[in-house]
Every structure is written in structure tokens, then in C-alpha cells.
Amino acid sequence: MVEIERHDYDVIVIGAGGAGLRAAIETRMRGLRTAVVCKSLFGKAHTVMAEGGIAASMGNVNSSDDWQVHYRDTMRGGKFLNNWRMAELHAKEAPQRVWELETYGALFDRTGDGRISQRNFGGHEYPRLAHVGDRTGLELIRTLQQKIVSLQQDDHAEHGDYEARLRVFAECTVTELLLDSGRIAGAFGYWRENGRFIRLHAPTVVLATGGIGKSFKVTSNSWEYTGDGHALALRAGASLINMEFVQFHPTGMVYPPSVKGILVTESVRGDGGVLRDCEGRRFMFDYIPEVFKDSYADDEQEADRWYSDPHGNRRPPELLPRDEVARAINNEVKEGRGTPHGGVYLDVASRLSTEEITRRLPSMYHQFRELADVDITSEKMEVGPTCHYVMGGVEVDPDTAAARVPGLFAAGEVAGGMHGSNRLGGNSLSDLLVFGRRAGLGAEQYLRQLGADRPEASEPDVDAAARRALAPFDAGESPAAENAYTVHAELQQIMNDLVGIIRDGDEMRSALESLAELERRSRNLAVMEGNRQFNPGWHLALDMSNMLLVSECVAKAAVRRTESRGGHTRDDHPEMDPAWRRTVLACSWRDGAVEVTEQEQPPVRADLLELFELAELRKYFTEEELTGIPDGST
Ligand code: FAD
């Protein structure tokens, strides 16, 4: 068989976004030899694209904020399907992780009196998002990279080798996890530049590979989001939960076609921007759902007063959670009140001064100027929903981030549970840091228990992984050869049209039939030209099996959940059903097929339930679940 380079570590972190880097920092600081593998350039992870900010209840702008309020908002945003323990840890630990980031060298925007500034975002009761203009992700990644480099400097001083205990394998794609009797033994992959294979041996793997958006046609996600970590985990024996919940961000660019889907940050609305139909009407007042009626203003005057007097007024409905706003926009367009290019208007020009817009939203200003020739200081933007985030992911233990496979951990967007059926903006960056750190701690704990009994991947398994990776080169001669770009385009169209923002049972069943046909065709995916040296056609052919597998999980779980909740809206089951709240759908991989099973959520701890008014809980829980719960005092 071909020669394969080998490296041995204690921990392999797959992914160098916020979650992966924070996990790697933790394991390295605890003395573990750590490899970070990423398929993009180091520093180019998805996290770098995050714009609006990181949610943490520091209470700098409104001192009423605390972890309990953040917890409540997160649970409400997720329609109470969140793993309550993850939401609790997240709300409690997020401020510490933000302050820690400043000790690593981050510098957030400040309030007048020098504290970290915080901005409003959808679903957050108080201004809560720490930010650096609208380029927060860049600062987060820059800082974590800086910390990695400083740890490597320490290693050089101590061992004469920068990479003695922490090495980054950039532009290196992992295609398989290696197992030994069901336990993690390492990972197999290839260098994107020259196509050579690489095997990394370690008893622990932290998956931090991000999301799945590239399975959809219109998406804010970059080329990396092909669901690799989701698929790696599933094939290794882990389960994925909540896969039916896909977030469509309300505001992506709709025009010109080449940039359709690119994100328009929620900060535009957080800082005062409003949504209007083709006649200039602020339509969001028509879309405040019953469960949120008490907290959102029902006329423009009150909504506008809220910006200067948040205590005496209710919030503008433009700041409802994302699922609500995305559905509203979808409906406006469907009913013929959209813009010429099939979106609605997002207007910040009539709301803020030119100086404020360019200071608070510099990236948006440049994005529209350069990509759409629109000056957002004087013109309205055209926006519409875009596939943005997947709430579903690897089922993990909330405290340790451990998956069901011994030695496997997952953090960040690839992990499921934290956000329930819908993520609040800003809660991802905090999730990455809180659970990235916890995954690192979990890996250390596992290694300590493991002692000298380290699993070892077998040679036949490694050879088989290499053979599978090379298969698209053999398929080229076959008359049944399929082009990866064609199959990808068909997959994206199916997912967009049939498993998108508004779903229907018959459409999804037809999507599943089409997915099965695509899966059959994908067995003949072929490299049409070139060899193993930087060959995007080959890379896509390998990514396709992940996208198809993950799409099957999304569609199968979505068919099974016969209600509408958060990022899962069904025309044929439009209501939220309290009987479904306690049920989590788990996907597993059995005999070459995705199997969906129903799992019961553990009951929410009583002291956390008591943070809510009983009247509010009644909107989400069954009467049986609420028996004996005293009325909350919030
Ligand atoms: P990522 O940052 O995506 O990193 C994934 C890593 O995995 C990459 O290094 C990638 O190369 C690597 N990888 C993937 N597959 C493989 C493989 N097979 N082998 C090797 N490496 C692999 N959230 C907020 O909280 N606030 C915001 O303001 C915000 N703004 C956003 C704006 C945009 C435009 C987008 C798209 C998202 C935004 N989000 C925001 C969401 C947030 O940025 C992401 O959810 C988050 O960054 C995901 O981080 P991660 O560490 O899980 O993964």
C-alpha cells in the first residue's frame, strides 16, 4: 500500500475554529501533546466570519443582566428543547470565558467608562453581545491563535522545539476516525496541497468541525461546512441529535445572484435597523407569536422608545428570535410584498447617521458597497433568509463534551443540544469557548483514566481508509462515472426546495427518495481530471458522502417530528406540540443506514424551572410535567 506518514499525540483536535482552538489551548496547558488539524488555512476557520458578537451576561451596559436572565433567554429561544444543563453551564461560564479572552490579548469595544461594551441582539433581553465592531470573530480567532503561538514559544524555550507539545496541521482534511474495539485510536486524512496521506494516532479526538450549510443552495456558510465532523462521528458509532433543526438566518443578501446568501449581521437590527415591505411598511408587528406577546412592542412608537428606555418599553419585534423573523420574511415575499429580487428591505439608513453606520457596521458598509453597489448609509438593503447554522450535532455529555464513543469529544457547532430548536445570535461564540474548554478538560480526564492501556489502530483499517479515499480516481473510467459538482448542485437544490425553511411531509419524503438516488449515484463519483495534487474535484468527491449522510439525517428527523418548533417549520403540522418538547430525535448509523429513534429528555432541574413563571411554562410543557412546580418569582 502507499506510504503514509505517522504522528503520535495524546489529543487530536479536528478543527481550528473557536471551539477547536479553545480545546487545544486547554489540553496543551494541561501538558498533553496536542495536534490541531484543519482543512483550511490556519486562522481561516468559519469563526473568523462571525460578525455581531459573543453573548455573555457581564451586565456592563445593563446591570440587571445575569446568568439567570441569559439562561431564560436561551431556553426561550430554543423553545425549551435545549439540553438544560448545557444551557446552564453556558450562561454561567460565558462571562469568564470572555474576560479570559482579554487576558489572551483580545480587545473588545468599550463603554464610555472603559468596560467591555455590549450590544442588543434578537432574543436577548439586555444588551449582551461583547463585540469588536462587526468583526468579532476575527478578534476571537486572532487572539486564540496568539495564545497558541505563545504556548509554542514556551515549548521552544523548554524543549528547543516550537511544536514539542502543540502542532497545527493546516490544509489537512480528516476523512476517517480510526478505532480500536470501538474506542478512538486516531484519525486518517490527506494533505490538500499534495494529496499525500497522513495518520495521526491518539486515544482522544475532539471534533470541532463546525456545521453543514453547504448541503443547502442558499447559505451564509463557507466551503468548509460539509458536515464532516457530524458524519465522522456518526460512522464511528456516535449519535447525532436535533438534526431536524436548521437555522435560516433572516437576513442574507439576495442580490446580485453571485452573493446570494452572504450574511447581513443581526447587529444591523440590534443597532436600530428595521425591516420593511415593498411599500415601506414595518411588517414585523404582524408576526409576534402568542408566546412572545408580553415582551415585544406592538406599535412603532413603543418599539422606538425602547432603544433609549428599555425598562419602560417592550422590545421591537425586529429583535424576535431568528426563526420567527425568517418565517415572517418568507411569508411577506410569498404574499407578494417583497422586493424586486425576492427579499424584503432592511433599512438602517433612515435610522442612524452616516457616521454611526460606518463606525458600528463597517463590514456591512463595505460588503454592500463592493458586492452590490449599495450605499447602506443612504439606501435600503435587500435581504432574505439564508441557511446559517445547524442546531443538531453530536450527542455529548454536557459537563465533559464526551460523545458515546470512548475517547471522542465534540464542541462548537458540531455538537448538539445546547441551542435546542433555535440558537440565539451571539450564543455560538460563547458556546465555542465554554464547551471547547470543557472538551479539553474532558479529554484530559479520559486520558488519565485510560493510563497505559492505549488503543492502537490496525494496519488493515488504515489501508482501507486509504483505499476509500482513492476510490474516486478508479471510478473515472466507468460509464457510470458521476461528477461531484453535478451531484452537489442537485443535493443543494433538493435540500433548499424540499427540506428548507418551510417543510411538508410529502415534500420531505420525496426529498428522501431523491437523496437515496443521489447516494446510489455518489458511489460512482469520479475525479474527472488531475491527480492528487491540489485537486478540488477530488476533495469535493470525498466531502459528498458526508453531505449526503448529514442531509439524510436532517430529512429523516424532520419527517419524524410532526410539529413546528424553532428551526423546523411544517406546513402540515404548523403548531408547536408540548408532547414533543421532551422528545429528542437521535440519529445513529446501523448497517449502512440512518436510523432515527426517539429519546426522552431528562427533566429540567427544579431550581432552573423555578426561574420561569408558571404561566410561561404552560405554553411549552405538558400539565403532567408541571405538576408540583411552584409559580416562579421572576
Ligand atoms: P469553525 O469555526 O467553522 O471551524 C471549523 C474548523 O473545522 C475549521 O478549521 C475547518 O477547516 C475544520 N474542519 C472541518 N472539517 C474538517 C475535516 N474533515 N478535517 C479537518 N478539518 C476540518 N455566531 C455568534 O455567536 N456570533 C456572531 O456574531 C456570529 N456571526 C456569524 C456570521 C457568519 C457570516 C456566520 C457564517 C456565522 C456566524 N456565527 C456567529 C456562527 C459562528 O460563527 C459559528 O457557529 C462558529 O464560528 C462555529 O465555530 P466552530 O469552532 O464550531 O467551527
For range 619-630, the mean pLDDT: 85
Q: Which residues of 182-220 are buried (b: 16+ CB within 10 A; e: fewer)?
A: ebbbbbbbbbbeebebbbbbbbbbbbbbbbbbbbbbbbb
pLDDT digits (tens, 9 = 90+) for 478-523: 888 999 999 999 999 999 999 999 999 999 999 999 999 999 999 9
pTM summary value: 0.94
Q: What distance in angstroms lies between residue 244's CA and the mean position of ligand 1's atoms?
A: 19
Q: Which protein residues touch ligand 1 with a CB less than 6 Å away? A: 14-20, 37-40, 45-47, 49-54, 136-137, 173-174, 208-210, 220-221, 224, 228-229, 263, 389, 412-414, 425-429, 432
Among protein residues, the one with the nearest Cα to ligand 1's atom 23 is: 428
Minimal CA–CA distance to 207: which of 417, 13, 442?
13
Ligand 1 centroid–CA 413 distance in Å is 7
Catalytically annotated residue among 249, 327, 423, 582: 249
Between the ranges 292-306, 400-414, 523-537, where is the mean pLDDT highest? Answer: 400-414
- Which atom of ligand 1 is nearest the CA belonging to 141? 2
CA triple 102-107-108, angle to 5 deg = 105
SS3 615: helix
Sheet strand arrangement including 593-600: 393-394, 240-241, 583-590, 593-600
Query: Which residue minimizes the CA distance to atom 40 of ligand 1?
Result: 50
- The helix (run of H) or strand (run of E) holding residue 383 is strand 381-390
Q: Give the mean pLDDT of the chain.
A: 95
Rg of the chain taking only CA atoms, in angstroms = 24
- Which atom in ligand 1 lies closest to the alpha carbon of residue 262? 34
Helices and strands (H, E) in the chain, number of each type: 19, 22
Residue-wise pLDDT for 326-369, tens only, equals 999 999 998 999 999 989 999 999 999 999 999 989 989 999 99
Cβ atoms of residues 465 and 188 within 8 Å? yes
In sequence order, what are the beta bridge partners of 198? 5, 189
> Is the per-residue pLDDT at 634 higher than 50?
no
- Of the listed 269, 388, 568, 581, which one is catalytic? 269
Rounded Cα distance between 183 and 407, Å, is 6
pLDDT digits (tens, 9 = 90+) for 64-96: 999 999 999 999 999 999 999 999 999 999 999
- 269 labelled catalytic: yes
More confident residue, 310 or 89: 89
Cβ atoms within 10 Å of 41's Cβ, excluding its own: 11
* Distance between CA atoms of residues 9 and 167, nearest Å: 10
The angle at the Cα of 612, spanning 608 to 618, to the nearest 5 degrees, equals 115
pLDDT band for position 633 (cuts 50, 70, 90):
very low
Residue 376, SS3? coil
Which of ligand 1's atoms lies nearest the C-alpha of 173?
A: 19
Mean pLDDT of 406-421: 98
Say whether the ipTM exceeds 0.90: yes
Looking at ligand 1, which residue's alpha carbon is closest to its atom 44? 47
Contacts of 504 (CB under 8 A, 6+ apart): 570, 571, 572
Which of 47, 139, 322 should be mutated for ligand 1, with most atoms under 8 A from CB?
47
Give the number of the atom of ligand 1 that is nearest the alpha carbon of residue 266: 28
Phi, psi of 102 (to 5 degrees): -70, -30
**Residues 227-245 pLDDT 10s:** 999 999 999 999 999 999 9
Contact predicate 88/71, CB 8 Å: yes
* d(CA 394, ligand 1 centre) in Å: 15
Q: Is 249 annotated as catalytic?
A: yes
Q: Of 328, 331, 332, which Cα lies nearest the Cα of 319?
A: 328
What one-character DSSP code corresponds to residue 283? G
Counting residues of the chain whose pLDDT is more than 90, the rounded percentage is 89
Per-residue DSSP letter, 173: E
From CA 148, how far away is CA 105, in angstroms rounded? 12
Question: How many degrees, rounded to 5, is the angle at CA 627 between CA 624 and CA 631?
Answer: 130
Q: Is the pLDDT of residue 527 over 60?
A: yes
Query: What confidence score (pLDDT) does residue 130 get?
Result: 97
User: In this predicted structure, what is the pLDDT of residue 528?
Assistant: 86
- Coil/strand/helix, residue 387: strand
**What is the number of other CB atoms lying within 10 angstroms of the CB of residue 30?**
17
For the segment 574-585, the average pLDDT, to the nearest whole number, is 96
- pLDDT at 319 (0 to 100): 92
**pLDDT of 327-336, one tens digit each?**
999 999 989 9
pLDDT tens digits for range 2-25: 679 999 999 999 999 999 999 999
End-to-end distance of the chain based on CA atoms, in angstroms? 66
Is the peptide bond prior to 603 cis by the omega test (within 30 degrees of 0)?
A: no
On whether the CB atoms of residues 535 and 476 are closer than 8 A, the answer is no
The average pLDDT across 607-633 equals 85
CA distance 183 to 203: 8
Please spell the DSSP secondary structure of 533-602, one letter per residue.
SS-HHHHHHHHHHHHHHHHHHHHHHHHH--S-BTTB-BSSS-S--HHHHTEEEEEEEETTEEEEEEEEPP
Cβ atoms of 565 and 79 closer than 8 Å: yes
Neighbours of 77 (CB within 10 A): 27
DSSP string, 35-54: EEEESS-TT-SGGGG--S-E
- For cell 476533495, the residue is 539
Q: At 477, is the pLDDT very low, low, confident or very high (cuts 50, 70, 90)? A: confident
Question: What's the pLDDT at 631?
Answer: 63
CA of residue 144 to ligand 1 center, whole Å: 14
Distance (Å, whole) CA 231 – CA 234: 5
Indicate whether 310 pLDDT > 90.
no
Q: Is residue 57 helix, strand or coil?
A: coil
**Overall average pLDDT of the 277-298 stretch:** 94
CB 413 within 8 A of CB 428: yes
Res 583: pLDDT: 97
Burial of 518 (0-12, 13-18, 19+ CB in 10 A): buried
